[in-house]
């Protein structure tokens, strides 16, 4: 993934932010994936995510519209389930380019670990951006932490 980066590299560069964002994705099973339709308009779909090897990944049933979208145009945004609305743990989003795993050995390793219904698709999510929005401990402002490859983490507070 040349223009994007793996979850593993992101976690090496920004370990605290990566731990917080991973916590949001692991807190619940279902999340919201945005893909690009053939006509260029957005599509949102429910999805499950997994951390597999160095990657954040999503699977899909064969022929699902989200899989066809990603095969045609890998751009995506993924929003972690925000939970109960309390903002506890923050609101996590990632964006980048998905690449379908077509290497049989890698797909087999994934299938052995995750045990998806077969046949299925596996997409590795290359990251362009990771964002965590949370409440400041004082409760009076938002804290927005953003990571991008080559730029590192920036932090903005908004009242």
Does 22 score more than 50 pLDDT? yes
State the pLDDT at residue 106. Answer: 84
| Contact indicator for 28, 81 with CB cutoff of 8 Å | yes
| pLDDT category of residue 4 using cuts at 50, 70 and 90 | confident
Q: How far is CA 150 from the centre of its chain?
A: 18
- Which alpha helices (H) appear in the chain, and where do they start and end? 7-13, 15-27, 65-72, 104-114
- Whether residue 2 has pLDDT greater than 60: no
Cβ atoms of 17 and 145 closer than 8 Å: yes
158 pLDDT band, cuts 50/70/90, is very high
Report whether 31 contacts 78 (CB < 8 A): yes
Total-model pTM: 0.92
């Amino acid at each position: 993934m040349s223009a994007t980066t793996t979850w593993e590299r992101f976690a090496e560069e920004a370990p605290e932010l990566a731990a917080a964002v991973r916590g949001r994705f692991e807190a619940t099973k279902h999340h919201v994936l945005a893909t690009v339709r053939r006509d260029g308009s957005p599509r949102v779909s429910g999805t499950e995510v997994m951390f597999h090897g160095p990657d954040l990944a999503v699977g899909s049933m064969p022929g699902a519209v989200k899989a066809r979208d990603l095969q045609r145009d890998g751009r995506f945004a993924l929003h972690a389930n925000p939970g109960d609305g309390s903002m506890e743990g923050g609101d996590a989003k990632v964006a980048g380019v998905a690449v379908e795993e077509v290497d049989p050995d890698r797909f087999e390793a994934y299938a052995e670990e995750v045990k998806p219904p077969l046949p299925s698709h596996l997409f590795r999510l290359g990251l362009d951006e990771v964002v965590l929005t949370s409440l400041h401990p004082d409760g009076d402002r938002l804290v927005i932490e953003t990571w991008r490859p080559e730029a590192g983490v920036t932090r903005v507070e908004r009242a």
